[in-house]
Amino acid sequence: MIGSDGRLVQTAVIGGPASGRAIILPADADELTRWRRRHPSYTYWCGMQLGGCGHELSDRLYRDKVCHFAHRPHTSCHRTATGAAGADHLFIKDDLAAWAGRNRLKGQATSRNLGSGPGDAVDFRVGAARQHVRFQFSRLAHAEWRRTRQRFSGETATLDWVFGPGAAQPETMEELYDEYGHLLRFRFETHGAVRRIRLRAEDPRRSTDWVPLDACAMTPEGLRIPGVQPRRRPGPGPAAGSGTGRAATPVRRSREEQVLALKAALVGAARFRTRPTWEALARTAGSDLLGLSVPDRVGLLVAVERTADGEGSPLLSALIRTGESDPPPYVGDVVAAVGCGAPATAAVLKRWCQREADRAFAVYGVPSRTAPPRMPLTPDGRLAAQQGAEPAQLHTIVHVKGGKVQQSAARPRPAHLAGVPLLHDTELRHALRSARNRRGPRPRYATALLARAEEALRRLPEPQRSELVAEMVTTRRWLDNRPDTPARKPRRSRRAANAAEAQKTAAVNQSGRAKRTQQRKKGKTAKNPLQGARPLPGFDPRTEKRPR
């Protein structure tokens, strides 16, 4: 049977509809034959924990196609996750139970339905130590992740969040990079009729090897993966207050020490290509910065900018963001104080800071690259037109009776780019990301942005080109999954285009040959004007006298 999403049903549970023992049916006929001989008493069900209907399934053996499960006749089922990965949340529960038993941990694994199915997440809790590990399968919005994390932190001593493929938002990744120095990932590998979990830790520069769960350990600081030294920060949970009983009063440092520590923290954030909040900076540069007032923060950041390496260095203060990923309003005061201009609106400040953040990533990243130019501000706080971003409009003076009229001679914009601002090449990646959250006719706007990005790919160097390509791929997938996106015309392959061109050339050549043949016939007729004419009356060519 084909699932409701058009795929073969490859997974089921053994024993009954409420069972949690999952299986992947062998796809090869000989393998399925051996499986039947080893397990003649097994019964297979479209399990409730798989999001299925609960009816019994039969295993279908085929020699000419892939073997798969099938429902009984006249059975209605709306299960969507029918592939090999559709039972991963059950396979991980088996792995966690076996791992906890071998390590003498009194843990329990529970699957969670967060809105799209029973396999959205799996929570593993160790009761006595009040430790919690969340395995995130489905993609979770950054705001929802922060709320859930804050709730979990108040209930547990340690909290580790492990993300599956594509499950972490970019903002979530940046926050975890800044706080812990790495991000925990998991994936699955198929072994016969089951799948086994593998884990690793990664940061913007490198990643550890994928290791099985048996290579990991549950320590007092949380889940430990080989090759990673955890950089934990005290959080809002109970573990933050536990310790040796020392006083938690921060040590007050001199102004020079604060400036140096804050600059080092900002440079480190730029090296990891992250944009931290002020609270995250305080955890890195010193807890005495956390209680500073807004004027004190502005004065400290201005002092940091005045220690820049040279004129034209990126403004490190532009890296700071709020929980909503917007620059704090006081960053505009820093921009004005260092002589870069005074942004008139929050939107201008956000775009200006995005450009400065890209410049900081280019200068301090590993490896470093050429930074894009700084985005200039006009005296009234608006964004100045970038060189090459918008063609200069030519004006023609037309003399008419009664005076002169000024007319614009600018070329009209292409129809497929109507409504798209003339962005700089390095801003297209951010524009594509924000287009997916834009209200109104988003597919049309995003399609126009993709056309503009295609033109910019030829001009961008690495790694901006790769980053833009990744954002374009994500946007195209988002467009393809939207019901209001108009269908795209099928793209012809190079071979089909060459064949069409050859056919067209052959038709032209054939037409030319026919034309030349007709012209030759007309030429012969012109040389002998009497050709084809009837003889005169009384003239018989047979009686014509030949010259002797």
User: pLDDT tens digit string along 297-354?
Assistant: 999 999 999 887 777 789 999 999 887 778 999 999 999 998 888 898 989 999 999 9
Q: Is 80 exposed, middle or buried (0-12, 13-18, 19+ CB in 10 A)?
A: middle
94 and 218 assigned to the same domain: yes
CA gap 252, 120 in Å, rounded? 46
Does the pLDDT of residue 540 top 80, yes or no? Answer: no
CA gap 24, 57 in Å, rounded? 13
> In the listed set 364, 380, 399, which residue is the last one of a domain according to the structure?
364
Does the pLDDT of residue 166 top 60, yes or no? Answer: yes
- Quick one: pLDDT at residue 235? 45
Is there a cis peptide before residue 529, judged by omega within 30 degrees of 0? no
In a domain, 208, yes or no: yes
Distances (CA, A) of 127 to 124, 395, 429: 10, 76, 45
Contacts of 460 (CB under 8 A, 6+ apart): 425, 426, 468
CB 324 within 8 A of CB 283: no
> In the listed set 56, 82, 108, which residue is the last one of a domain according to the structure?
82
Does the pLDDT of residue 434 top 90, yes or no? Answer: no
Average pLDDT of every residue of the chain: 79
In a domain, 343, yes or no: yes
**Chain centroid to CA 5: how far?**
23
Q: Which residues pair with 131 in a beta bridge?
A: 126, 158
75 and 96 assigned to the same domain: no
- Quick one: pLDDT at residue 231? 56
72 and 157 assigned to the same domain: no
128 and 99 assigned to the same domain: yes
- Quick one: pLDDT at residue 247? 41
Domain count, the chain: 4
Model confidence band, residue 408 (pLDDT cutoffs 50, 70, 90): very low
Residue 153: both structure tokens together: 């932190």
Report phi then psi at 390, rounded to 5: -140, 130
> In the listed set 59, 82, 105, which residue is the last one of a domain according to the structure?
82
CA gap 94, 113 in Å, rounded? 18
Q: What is the pLDDT of residues 458-517, one digit of tens each?
A: 777 767 777 888 888 888 888 877 766 555 556 566 677 778 888 888 887 887 778 777
In a domain, 44, yes or no: yes
Task: Tell me the residue range of the domain where 77 lies.
Answer: 11-82
- Give pTM, 2 decimals: 0.49
190 and 107 assigned to the same domain: yes
119 and 209 assigned to the same domain: yes
150-152-155-157 Cα dihedral, nearest 10 degrees: -100
In a domain, 317, yes or no: yes
92 and 76 assigned to the same domain: no
- Quick one: pLDDT at residue 528? 60
Contacts of 150 (CB under 8 A, 6+ apart): 236
- Quick one: pLDDT at residue 447? 82
106 and 208 assigned to the same domain: yes
H or E stretch covering 109: strand 107-112
> Which has the higher per-residue pLDDT, 358 or 384?
358
In a domain, 198, yes or no: yes
116 and 76 assigned to the same domain: no
203 and 140 assigned to the same domain: yes
Secondary structure class of 479 (helix, strand, coil): helix
In a domain, 109, yes or no: yes
In a domain, 297, yes or no: yes
CB 121 within 8 A of CB 114: yes
In a domain, 526, yes or no: no
218 and 94 assigned to the same domain: yes
Q: What is the 3-state secondary structure (H, E, C) of 70-98?
A: EECCCCCCCCCCCCHHHHHHHHHHHHHHH
Model confidence band, residue 3 (pLDDT cutoffs 50, 70, 90): low
198 and 114 assigned to the same domain: yes
Of all residues in the chain, what percent carry a pLDDT higher than 70? Answer: 77
Secondary structure class of 515 (helix, strand, coil): helix
- Quick one: pLDDT at residue 186? 94
- Quick one: pLDDT at residue 398? 46
CB 25 within 8 A of CB 10: yes
Report phi then psi at 356, rounded to 5: -65, -35
Report phi then psi at 126, rounded to 5: -100, 115
Q: What is the pLDDT of residues 29-79, one digit of tens each?
A: 898 899 999 988 899 999 888 888 889 898 888 888 889 888 888 888 888
